[in-house]
Structure 1
Amino acid sequence: MVTKSRFRGQYLLTDANIPKKFSNWESESITDEFDFYHSPDLQSSMVNKNGTRILCAGYIFDPLNPQQTNEQVLNKICGDITSGKNIFDVLSIFGGRYILFVDDGNNQLVIPDAGALRSILYGSFNGYSVVTSSTKLALTLFDTTIQTTPSKEKYIEQADYWIGTGTDDDRLSRVLANHFLDLADMSKSRMPHYPPSQKSPVPYSAEILSGSIEALACRFETPHIWLSGGLDSRTILSASKSVSDQCRYIVFDRPDVPEHDIEIPRRLCEKLGLNLTVVEPEPISDSFRYRLNNEFCSPRYSSAISNVEWYDDIEANVVPTTGIISEVARTYYEHPYKPFSPGLCIELSNIPDTDYSRQQLNRWIESAREYERKTNIDIFDLFYWEQKVSTWGARSARELDLVCDLAAPFSNRELLHTLLTTSRDRRRYPYTIYKGIIEECWSACLEEPINHLPNPTIKKSIEKYISEKSNHSLPYHIISNIYKKFRFTGPD
């Protein structure tokens, strides 16, 4: 029997008749064939208007109208669709962490948020179709054990997250970010591209990010802004200005966290007049390990999981808010001379080099190249968005589901497309466009340096500068390799 405490925040859509298994869960019929089951902890909203039915699992918001509720947003989406607008064009502006089930009479689609942070895993068990957010949930439901190939087993033994569309079980596949699922034939496709607004990118991006955090403050009791010394959290911090009195600012002080990721937020929050909570989480407890084993086919026990367990004792309706997905637009992956290939993907993302990983990447690259030609979105950026965010990012979100939800203000297609249309020079180090957004939102947030090393010496400063430049500049890449080979050992 699935209980409320297990599979918190998860859902399952199926054409199987399973009333007893989910006696503690809520259920809704979304088509003549499919029933939707979800944990009571997962918000569900449905509207039916002019022959179009939309069910939202999770929360969705309009950053340009942050006061609107789920139902108001869904009614607007329904109205726009029935007036003839394309669903994917309509959805571009909306943020949140959600799955939408859309039935307009002609199509039955399952659409994730921009980062696919609420996973869509699909396949079949015992002849029944299944769409779910959790492999372990599906296995539990159908009273079956995991089935996987040796090549996948070899990969996941060495990796923290999946690559490509694979999951822990061969009967389920993953819908990547920037993709959707067609329920009619259980096939996935990449979302059609719609160019963003022609508004100036810096103020428009600032408006979307600020509105996103305002929306979170309307939906949750307290947004918890996770801080570090880095660029992504600084951008989120700046966007929280209008609701800073409703937010709580958090730093996790674990043994593996660098000193500057504690001290820089501490100094900055003091200057901004914000109260900073410094959390020293305990190591993962045995009871929490048991819960991880009970929820995941291949659980991980990294030190960051202690951040998740810290929320286990918090009963308030809070939402950890992070800068993940920002990396998509800030040229996180690139190389000064190597052509894009499965081998380079493996090198840059530090995943295991196995037959499975190369097979998945070869399959993805073929379609991604065509999409790059049509949209001018660089394949390096697309790799981070579709492969890293919807696997590594979604896994982090799924781990938080054990205790609370997650917010990622950068999970917004309009925002990502706006940033990705700007030149790579503005988006890479020294991150001109990001600093412009911070200046637009809350200029005082730039009074402390970003990613600043403690007690920097000339040697350390040179090393950092060369490292930042070497990703895209061939001369600096050569210098970096020479430096690593003949590292000098003189005094700092």
Structure 2
Amino acid sequence: VALPLTGGYESRVSFACAKELRGKLPLYLIDAPNTLYHDKLLSKQVAKKYGLEVSYLRPLPFNERFWRSLLRNTAEMYWDQGANHIYTYGQHYPNFYLLIGQSDNVGRAWYYKDGMLPKVIDPPLLARVTGYTGNAVALKAFEQWLSSAPSNLNVSLLDLIFWEHRTGNWGSLGATAFDTVGCETSSPYNCRRLMEIALGVDVEYRKPPHILLRRIAELAAGPTILSVPINQHWLDDVIASAARYVPWRVKHWAQTARMRRSGTPECFLADARFF
């Protein structure tokens, strides 16, 4: 079993809840050109607080044959920005269970991050929040889904559609993608009872800054776990401010060059779904 440690909420809470197993689990992060800067910085700070170290894995080059196999295995439906890391996982952690963070977003008011539910939830709204605005097939599917969705659960339909549609698809396709390299994935959050409890918490504590997740981490590991920021660092604002003055073509060229040097094949770089 291995645990990825990033700068985000999912891995922070998983790390906190691991308790006495923290020192026994391999902690890792893929240090690729498209890895967020704060992920490496924050994960290192968190591990240091507990006297542990994170293995920062350089991305390994893969060929077009592997990439085509991964796309074929997932019916070209796994559009994850970190899909180019999967080959590296397989080389470093074959036959491991990787404790991914998938599923925790169900309780994070993902489709209404301001905590304010719309008065009307209809097919056009569901198509918009899921990224299928104006798609006739999606509109018909959401119309059928709404007609059969229960109305007496005391759970927002936006939370329910995220659970069924986004999390279900992402989780199943991710597991299939990792099958390509012989890795099994398991989400500590993939528990119906846990999701029900999370959705029973007032949205005020579920929306950003995600007080519910912060509290869970604090109860499991003490206030030290929150002494390092989650998903943000002051350098983020500095980098974002400076990047505004750099033409997008220059930024794209520089990122492409870095990805190419790390062994990323042209077939990945040419696919707008991933890069």
Q: TM-score, normalised by structure 2?
A: 0.77
Alignment of 1:289 with 2:67, yes or no, is yes
Within 5 Å, give how 1:24-423 maps onto structure 2: 223-298=1-76, 304-314=82-92, 317-334=95-112, 336=116, 337=118, 339-351=120-132, 353-368=134-149, 371=150, 373-402=151-180, 403-423=182-202
Change (3 A) 1:348 1:278: same
Higher relative contact order (CA 8 A, sep 6+): 2
Deviation (angstroms), 1:457: 5.7
Does the 8 A contact of 2:78 with 2:170 survive in 1? no
Change (3 A) 1:250 1:428: same
Percentage of pairs with the same residue: 22
Change (3 A) 1:353 1:268: same
Deviation (angstroms), 1:324: 1.1
Higher Rg: 1
Change (3 A) 1:429 1:290: closer
Deviation (angstroms), 1:243: 0.8
For 1:278, what is the secondary structure of its paired residue? strand
Equivalent in the alignment of 2:227 = 447
Change (3 A) 1:391 1:301: closer
State how far apart, in whole Å, the 2-side matches of 1:341 and 1:282 are.
45
Does the 8 A contact of 1:283 with 1:303 survive in 2? no
Does the 8 A contact of 1:253 with 1:262 survive in 2? yes
Does the 8 A contact of 1:284 with 1:305 survive in 2? no
Change (3 A) 1:235 1:315: closer
Query: Aligned to 2:207, which of 410, 428, 449?
Result: 428
Query: Root-mean-square deviation (CA), in Å?
Result: 2.4
Change (3 A) 1:292 1:438: same
State how far apart, in whole Å, the 2-side matches of 1:452 and 1:438 are.
17
State how far apart, in whole Å, the 1-side matches of 2:201 and 2:189 are.
16
Change (3 A) 1:375 1:293: closer
Cα offsets for 1:374-418 (capped at 9, x unmatched): 221111110110111111221112101222110101100111111
Does the 8 A contact of 2:107 with 2:159 survive in 1? yes
By percentage of residues, which structure has more helix? 2
Aligned length: 235
Change (3 A) 1:339 1:261: farther
Change (3 A) 1:422 1:303: closer
Structure 1 residue runs of 5 or longer lacking an equivalent are 1-222, 462-492
Deviation (angstroms), 1:327: 0.5
Amino acid across the alignment from 1:426? Y
For 2:60, what is the secondary structure of its paired residue? coil
For 2:229, what is the secondary structure of its paired residue? coil
State how far apart, in whole Å, the 2-side matches of 1:349 and 1:409 are.
24
For 2:2, what is the secondary structure of its paired residue? strand
Q: TM-score, normalised by structure 1?
A: 0.45
Does the 8 A contact of 2:99 with 2:186 survive in 1? yes
Cα offsets for 1:284-305 (capped at 9, x unmatched): 4223124225534336576522
Change (3 A) 1:420 1:300: closer
Equivalent in the alignment of 1:53 = none
State how far apart, in whole Å, the 2-side matches of 1:290 and 1:455 are.
37
State how far apart, in whole Å, the 2-side matches of 1:346 and 1:245 are.
44
